Structure 1
Amino acid sequence: MTVQASLSGNGQELTIKVDGRFDFSAHQEFRDAYESLEAEPQSFVVDLGGTSYLDSSALGMLLLLRDHAGGDSADVRIVNCNQDVRKILTISNFEQLFAIQ
């Protein structure tokens, strides 16, 4: 499992890419990806294109990111989900909290 973060050139959007299993072992690395920034991005993209599995702790980490980004007014998108990951997000009603593409 790896977590990579990249800030857009203008500093307005942070992309966090998670590869492999997205579970509790990623907790600190995932939080560091957005909490350690000096600037505060306006939007966040979580790229799950390389994610093979996610569990309830990953769902909790996504909720922590949403709270950090502003809660109900947050601009957080989840992109590139495979069918299994998307099914978990749908069952968990995350499409009501995040833009899932």
Structure 2
Amino acid sequence: MSTPFTADAVEAIKRHMNDDHADDSLIIVRGLGGRPDARTALTSDVDAEAITFTIDGGERVRVPWGQTLTERAQVRKAVVLLYREACDKLGIAARGEH
């Protein structure tokens, strides 16, 4: 698991995801992480290949980006793509698409 991100960048991404996008993380885990019954999902790691969530207080679920990220600026777009793909798979409307 390589990462183009500094430790500070990973911590900032995790904090942002957990503070502002916990519901989106849960949708990603349910739709793309193979855990449709998950109740909670916290971002626990980010690297060039995937985002990792800790669900329901313990199990770690890794969801691949679908491409190798080379810079921090790509994370936002990659998360949005995962979120939209998960919504499609779960048959729910993504925010802004109601």
TM-score w.r.t. structure 1 length?
0.26
Task: Decide which structure has greater strand share.
Answer: 1
